[in-house]
Amino acid sequence: MQQLHKDVDRVLFTQEDLAKRVTEMGQQITKDHPGESLLVISVLRGAAIFMADLVRHIDLPLEMDYMAISSYGNGAKSSGVVRILKDLTSSVEGRHVLIAEDILDSGLTLKYLIKNLSSRNPASIEVATLLRKKTLQQAKIDCRYVGFECPDEFIVGYGLDYAERYRNLPYIGVLKPDLYE
Ligand code: IMP
Ligand code: MG
């Protein structure tokens, strides 16, 4: 990873931090849903790595499905424009839905997603987000599971990208600002 490391200003969460916290989240989700089966939905592409690790610590019958939503473009700032690029394969009706999200920033993506999925009559909808950014303006989103709070800086790794790069970093770090400013 030498080629990617040099673009990282500092590491926020190591590979070990992530593994430990994702394990705890999966165990908590298991405890909170006795006798239920889940439809775990991940928002592509950022959340795919988190979801893949998370479901392996959820000891319940579950189905995995994927949606692609765009609120960002290739830049580092939210555009506020949300649209569905790829819809689910499964039906949501009557299901216990768990949305696995990589990071809650402005909250626009999740706000839209929750509204959209609610209109499809699920039995319940909950959110597990790996990261919640400490931003000044964030839509009020009820996240039952939050992995870590993180500073309001642009971060990459463990699924998070800048212009589609750095998703394969095994840790999460702050991108050197001169790379996108
Ligand atoms: P929101 O709609 O502003 O909450 O943005 C959510 C989406 O923006 C996430 O799913 C990420 O894909 C992306 N995002 C937000 N902050 C960052 C960041 O610091 N690094 C990389 N992607 C980010
Ligand atoms: Mg992204």
Tens-digit pLDDT profile for residues 22-69: 999 999 999 999 999 999 999 899 999 999 999 999 999 999 999 998
Q: Tell me the sheet residues that pair with 127.
A: 99
- The full set of domains in the chain, from first to last, is 16-153 (3.40.50.2020)
Considering the entire predicted model, what is its pTM?
0.93
| CA 73 and chain centroid, separation | 17
What residue has token string 């649209």?
83
Tens-digit pLDDT profile for residues 78-106: 655 678 899 999 999 999 999 999 999 99
Test site for ligand 1: of 70, 79, 85, 105, most ligand atoms within 8 A of the Cβ: 105
Helices 48-55, 15-32: axis angle to 10 degrees equals 60
Q: Catalytic site residue 7?
A: no
**Is 108's C-beta closer than 6 angstroms to any atom of ligand 1?**
yes
